[in-house]
Amino acid sequence: MDVNASALSPRRLTRQIAVGSVKVGGDAPISVQSMTTTKTADVEGTLAQIYALAANGADIVRCTCNDEGAAEGLAQIVPRSPVPIVADIHFHVEMALAALEAGVQGLRLNPGNLRKPAEIRLVASEARDRGVPIRIGVNAGSLHPDIYERFGGATPEALVESARLELAYFEEVDFSDVKISVKASSVATMIAAYRLASATFDHPLHLGVTEAGPLPGGLLKGTAGIATLLAEGIGDTLRYSLTADPVEEAKAGRQLLEVLGLRERKGLDLIACPSCGRAEVDVIKVANEAQIALEELNIPIQVAVMGCVVNGPGEARHADLGIAAGKKRGHLFIQGQIIRVVPEDEMVSALVEEAKKIADEGVAARLAARDVSAEAEAEADRAALLDARGADANHAAERITRIRRRTGA
C-alpha cells in the first residue's frame, strides 16, 4: 500500500461475501464491475464484450437477464467467462430463478421493481440454497412508490430504508449473503445515502453514481461520488455507469483504484505536463501517441511526457521513464537522469523501446547502460534554450533602458 492509500481514511470493515472467485468486502481488494450492453442471448457477442471488460480491469461483469433467451444465453456464458457473472433482474421473479438455474455467480435485484414479499423470499431461499449472493440494488430513479411517498422523495434516508426492508425479507429466510447499493444520479444524494448505508449495515457496499451520462461529464460525476466515499473508507466494489463503451467503465474503475493506491498498478500510468509557452513540441499529440503505443505493452510503468527540457526532467523525476522535448530533440530520462538524446520524430518510439527494456532488465540495468555523453548534450540544449528564451525573449536591455528613463536613474 503506498502513501496515497495511507492518506485515506481506514477502510470500514464489512462482512465478506464471495461472488464466484471474487471476494467482496472485509479485507478483499476493492473490485471493479461493469455491465455488458449486448443482448445476453447473443452468447458470442456478449462473451467478446466480457473478455474486453476483463482485459481492461473488470473483476465482475453483470449481464441483463430480461427474458428466456437471456437466461439460456447465461447458461452458456457462465462457464466460458473469465470473470464471475451477475444477472441483473428487474421485474420478473421467473428471470431471477432462471438465472440461478443458468449458474450465475450473483444476482442483482432492484427492490423498487420486484416488489412482492413472497417472490423476494422465494428468490432469496433459492440463492441461499445455491450459495449465490444477491446485491440489493436500490436506485433513486425506481424507488418503491410507498417509500418515495413516505420520505417525500428519493432522499438518502428513503434509499437506505428501501435496502433495509429488502434485507428484512431476506433475513426472514435466513439469507444474508448480500451486498448493497444505494445509487442516485445526484452525486450529493448518492454520497449522503452511502454514508448512511455504511453507518446502518455491515454488508459490503457497491458504489456507483447511476445514469452519470456520456464522457467526460459522466466520468467526473462518477469520480466525484465514488472517490469521495473511497477516501472516507466506504466501499467494497464499484461501477462507473457511463453512456459509453463499457470498456471505459472498466478502465475508469481500475484507474481510480490505482491512482488512490487501493489496487496495484497493472498497466501504464502516463503523466504529461499540461504544456505552456515553453513547450518545444505539440505535447498533446506526443502524449496521445505515447499513450496508445505504451498501453498495448501492458507494462506496469509510469511514463512522463514533458514539453520542455528546462523544467521537464526535474518535474517528472519520480517517473520510471520520461521524455522531454528541446531543440528538435528529445531527452530520454529514467527517474530524472538523462540516458539518451533522440531526434524529435523518434520520441515515441524511443519511449516504447526503453519501456520494454525496463520491463525486461529493470531500472538499475538501464541506468547503467545509459549513453554517458547524453547528460552533456542535454545540458547544452538546456543552456541554448535558456539563452534563447531567457532575458532576450523579454527584450530586457530595451526595457531596462526605458525603466531607467522613467525613474531618472
Judged by the rule CB under 6 A, the positions of this chain that interact with ligand SF4 are 273-276, 278-279, 306-308, 311-312, 315
In the complex with ligand SF4, which residue's Cβ is closer, 137 or 326? 326
User: Which 8-state DSSP code applies to residue 203?
Assistant: S
CB of 158 closer than 8 Å to CB of 143: yes
- Least distance in angstroms from the C-beta of 2 to ligand SF4: 24
In the complex with ligand SF4, which residue's Cβ is closer, 23 or 329? 329
For 287-372, list the strands marked E by DSSP: 302-306, 321-326, 329-334, 337-343
Using Cβ positions, the residue closest to ligand SF4 within the complex turns out to be 307
How far apart are alpha carbons 16 and 27 in whole angstroms? 8
In the complex with ligand SF4, which residue's Cβ is closer, 278 or 356? 278
The widest CA-to-CA distance across the chain, in whole angstroms, is 95
Buried b (16+ CB within 10 A) or exposed e, 350-375: bbbebbeebeeeeeeebeeebeeebb
In the complex with ligand SF4, which residue's Cβ is closer, 172 or 379? 379
CB of 162 closer than 8 Å to CB of 150: no
- Least distance in angstroms from the C-beta of 107 to ligand SF4: 50
In the complex with ligand SF4, which residue's Cβ is closer, 316 or 334? 316
- Least distance in angstroms from the C-beta of 307 to ligand SF4: 3
In the complex with ligand SF4, which residue's Cβ is closer, 153 or 390? 390
How far apart are alpha carbons 375 and 145 in whole angstroms? 70
- Least distance in angstroms from the C-beta of 261 to ligand SF4: 25
CB of 47 closer than 8 Å to CB of 55: no
**What are residue 18's DSSP bridge partners?**
23
Closest CA to 163 of 147, 185, 175: 147
Pull the grid cell for residue 280: 518545444
- Least distance in angstroms from the C-beta of 293 to ligand SF4: 20
In the complex with ligand SF4, which residue's Cβ is closer, 106 or 307? 307
Q: Which amino acid is at 179?
A: K
- Least distance in angstroms from the C-beta of 292 to ligand SF4: 20
- Least distance in angstroms from the C-beta of 390 to ligand SF4: 14
CB of 133 closer than 8 Å to CB of 179: yes
